[in-house]
Structure 1
Amino acid sequence: MIEMMIEQRRRSLGGGLEVGRVLPFARRRMVGPFIFFDHMGPLDLAAGVDRSVDVRPHPHIGLSTVTYLFSGEVMHRDSLGSQQAIRPQEVNWMTAGRGITHSERFEKARAMGDHLHGIQAWVALPQGDEETAPSFSHHEGENLPQWDAGGVRGQVIAGAAYGLTAAARIHSPLFYVHLELDAGARAEIPTNHRERALYIAQGAIEIEGEQYTAGRMLVLGPDVSCFLALEPTTAMVLGGEPVGERFLFWNFVSSSKERLAEAAADWQAGRMKLPDADHDEFIPLPSADTAPPPMS
């Protein structure tokens, strides 16, 4: 059975950049360790787009950010000195741990225009790893194993699924997979984790005789093991083992409300290092406790 259906809520991040926010949701904060899920675009960015569409330097603690694109290009820079463009079917995996700052710039779009479409996800770290040293890794090619069979093309983004394992270092059991299905194709869904979900980025599917269209996340009961594509469909399947209750303020995730307050104070006081290659501006700490996170 489908335990819950979550429809994306459109949110503006400023500068004309709009996302469909799925997680967190009032009645479902997390799926396994996944605590945040934004659907970016699809959005056409014209050549010469204003810099206000960029995501200026901002901080994170207590999580790993996972950036994955279907189309477009985003330039990542962080306080570790990393500078890495991400392109379609690649992964930028950034573990914030005790603290990191980064920016995301649409430099290709500014130069020649671009079509942006992708997913931003956050994975909460287990309590014992919340204060781990920050790190960044980029993955492409054979580090993200693929298969093509029966009208289903898949790529493992993180964790292990379908007998394949992605290269990114994870801190708790999880899986995260991109599926492309032809109309009429049927795909299995991994069943070896307590919490699982399916997000329809494009197209339409059928599960147990019910039809679902794009922009919806289906939180799956333990008996759901496959779905049918009613038309060409892009879907993400994800899940894992719960890591326990987490609190979220702005870009900070922690098992401790006191740690969130400490991180907010550090950012406001300028105690978190900005990226060396992008330090002339930053996103100020919001004043409202309900301030939504920006793109990761």
Structure 2
Amino acid sequence: MSWLTDNDPVPGDAKSCDAIEHVIIPRARDLGGFEVRRALPSAKRQMVGPFIFFDQMGPAQFLSGQGIDVRPHPHIGLATVTYLFDGEMMHRDSLGSALSIRPGEVNLMTAGRGIVHSERTAPELRTAGQRLFGIQSWMALPKSHEEDAPTFAHHAVADLPRFEGEGKRVRLIIGSLFGKTSPAAFPHDCFYAEAVLAPGAVLPLDPDYDERAVFIASGRIDIAGQSFDTGELLVFKPGDRISILAETNARLMLLGGEPMEGPRHIWWNFVSSSKERIAEAKNDWRQGHFASVPGDDTEFIPLPENN
């Protein structure tokens, strides 16, 4: 797919919202003053490409002394992707990784056969207070990679391909889109990008992948004459070329990919093609068989009671 300007012809655009398969409105949850909106999985759709979990974190304003404390917890069978619009978080994991993530950067943690991590507000930021706003997503690994060794990769702002012009700015986070490929590697054909649009800007989305979606992090957009607002996840049918018109300043997350080779089971922080593998992971966490997180090993999130 090429990068198009507003004046380029757009043959084959969807002329009605028949191109949209689902409109998912995430349910907001208040976690003690910190709002989370979960779009995936939902009753309407479990996955879009490899994306099986999609949370909008915030926006929230933490006062002095406040912050995020996600205690150490395990994952298997997935990759977590943290992407921030505002604020900063400290990531630590059982591989020994200890790194802050800031807006426009990418933390890609591939759990494979098992990893433990925590995400917290650093002490110096907790003292000053900060605004936090971003996206936490999980990508199910292909069956061939579910038991790979865990890895962690951080990509700086300058590492990620960026397209800008005609009132739109797109940063490619993972995969391939608009003829570019991100250095953040994932073993399945997919795409994940942030798009920031000025009012009146038009962003095309070709049917290069069978499964595509747009999450409206802020603002309002028009598709084929119908308006959609902040917080909605639009899942498109395959085969239609989509044109997204920004009615206001808008920030979007573009995501999708080829269908996975089969369904996935998801329970708590575990994803797998096998129910038996998830049962094994439950027992491993209960018995303390996962590795600990260096520098953050005095507490952890226990296995949920409904196990």
- TM above 0.5, yes or no, is yes
What is the letter of the counterpart of residue 131 of structure 1?
E
Paired position in structure 2 for 1:241? 258
Tell me if the contact between 2:219 and 2:229 (Cα under 8 Å) persists in the aligned partners: yes
Q: 2:235 aligns with which of 203, 219, 230?
A: 219
Q: Which amino acid aligns with 2:73?
A: H
Q: Deviations over 1:139-172 (max 9, x none)?
A: 0133211111110001000001011111111110
Q: Does 1:92 align with 2:107?
A: yes
Greater alpha carbon shift after TM alignment, 97-106 vs 14-23:
14-23
Q: How far, CA to CA, are the matches of 1:156 and 1:254 in structure 2?
A: 27
* Gapped regions of structure 1 (runs ≥ 5): 290-296
Q: Which residue of 2 aligns with 1:35?
A: 52
Query: In the aligned structure 1, how far is the partner of 2:171 from the partner of 2:158?
Result: 10
Task: Give the C-alpha shift of residue 188 in structure 1.
Answer: 1.1
Q: Report the counterpart of residue 13 of structure 2 in structure 1.
A: none
Q: Normalising by structure 2, what TM-score?
A: 0.91
Question: Separation in 1 of the partners of 2:125 and 2:32?
Answer: 14
Give the conservation status (yes or no) of the 8 Å contact 1:200–1:216: yes
Larger radius of gyration: 2
Distance 2:306 2:212 in 1: 32
Q: Please tell me the residue identity of whatever aligns with 1:130.
A: E
> More deviation in 249-258 or 136-145?
136-145
Q: Distance in 2 between matches of 1:156 and 1:181?
A: 15
Give me the whole-angstrom Cα distance separating, in 2, the residues matched to 1:278 and 1:210: 48
* Alignment partner, residue 155 of structure 1: 171
Is residue 275 of structure 1 aligned with residue 293 of structure 2? yes
Runs (4 or more) in structure 1 with deviation over 2 Å come to 14-18
In 2, Cα distance between equivalents of 1:60 and 1:22: 20
Residue in 2 that maps onto 1:293 = none
Aligned length: 286
Amino acid at match of 1:17: F
Instruction: Structure 2 unaligned segments of length 5 or more: list them.
Output: 1-18
CA contact (8 A) 1:162 1:190 kept: no
- Determine the structure 2 residue equivalent to 1:230: 247
After superposition, where does 1:100-249 map in structure 2 within 5 Å? 100-107=115-122, 108-221=124-237, 222-243=239-260, 244-249=262-267
Q: Deviations over 1:198-248 (max 9, x none)?
A: 000000000011100000000012214221000000001110011120000
1: distance between equivalents of 2:264 and 2:39? 17
Q: SS where residue 185 of structure 2 aligns? A: coil
What is the CA–CA distance in structure 1 between the aligned matches of 2:70 and 2:223, rounded to whole Å? 37
For 2:163 and 2:306, the matched residues in 1 are separated by: 45
Spell out, residue by residue over 1:48-102, the C-alpha distance to the aligned partner (whole angstroms, 9 max, x if none).
116xx41000000000000000010000000000001000000000000000000
1:200–1:214: 8 Å Cα contact kept in structure 2?
yes
Cα distance in structure 2, aligned partners of 1:125 and 1:190:
24
User: Which amino acid in the other structure matches residue 168 of structure 2?
Assistant: V
The 8 Å contact of residues 22 and 44 in structure 2, kept in 1 or not, is answered as no
Cα contact 2:204–2:241 (8 A) shared by 1: no
Please tell me the residue identity of whatever aligns with 1:188: P
Match of 1:80 in 2: 95
Task: Note the C-alpha offset of 1:15.
Answer: 4.3
* CA distance in structure 2 between the partners assigned to 1:247 and 1:185 by the alignment: 39
Identity %: 51
Q: Superposition RMSD on alpha carbons, in Å?
A: 1.1
| Residues 190-199 or 108-117, more deviating | 108-117
Instruction: Provide the C-alpha distance between the structure 2 equivalents of 1:249 and 1:130, rounded to a whole number of angstroms.
Output: 15
Separation (CA, whole Å) in 1 of partners of 2:29 and 2:188: 29
CA shift at 1:111, angstroms?
A: 2.2
Counterpart-to-counterpart distance in 2, 1:54 and 1:23: 22
Structure 1 counterpart of 2:302: 284
- Matched letter for residue 65 of structure 1: T
